[in-house]
Copies of this chain bind each other. A is one copy, B any other.
Amino acid sequence: MLDPMLVEKIIDNALIEDVGMIDLTSELAVPAEARADFAINTRQEIVVAGIDIAAAVFRRRVPDCVFEKKVQDGQTIAKGTLMARVTGPARGLLTAERTALNLLQHMSAIATVTAAYVAKIKGTKATLIDTRKTTPGLRALEKHAVMLGGGRNHRLDLAGGVMIKDNHISVCGSIAAAVKRVKAAVPVLTKVEVECDRVDQVREALAAGADMLLLDNMTLEMLRESVAIVGGRIPLEASGGVNFETIRPIAETGVDFISVGRITQSAPSVDIGLDATLSV
What residues of chain B lie closer than 8 Å to A29, measured between beta carbons? 162, 164, 168, 171-172, 178, 181-182
A133 B189 Cβ-Cβ under 8 A: no
A15 to B139, CA, bound (A): 11
Indicate if A257 sits at the interface (CB-CB under 8 A). yes
In terms of DSSP, what is the predominant structure of the interface of chain A? Answer: mixed
Indicate if A231 sits at the interface (CB-CB under 8 A). no
A171 B278 Cβ-Cβ under 8 A: yes
A132 B98 Cβ-Cβ under 8 A: yes
Which parts of A171-202 form the interface with B (CB within 8 Å)? 171-172, 178, 181-182, 185-191, 193
What residues of chain B lie closer than 8 Å to A44, measured between beta carbons? none
Which parts of A113-152 form the interface with B (CB within 8 Å)? 129, 132-140, 143, 147, 152
Closest residue of chain B to A193 (Cβ to Cβ) is: B189
A136 B188 Cβ-Cβ under 8 A: no
A-B contact pairs, 14 of them (CB 8 A): A5-B15, A6-B16, A20-B158, A21-B159, A21-B160, A99-B136, A106-B136, A136-B138, A155-B188, A155-B190, A168-B278, A189-B212, A261-B269, A268-B268
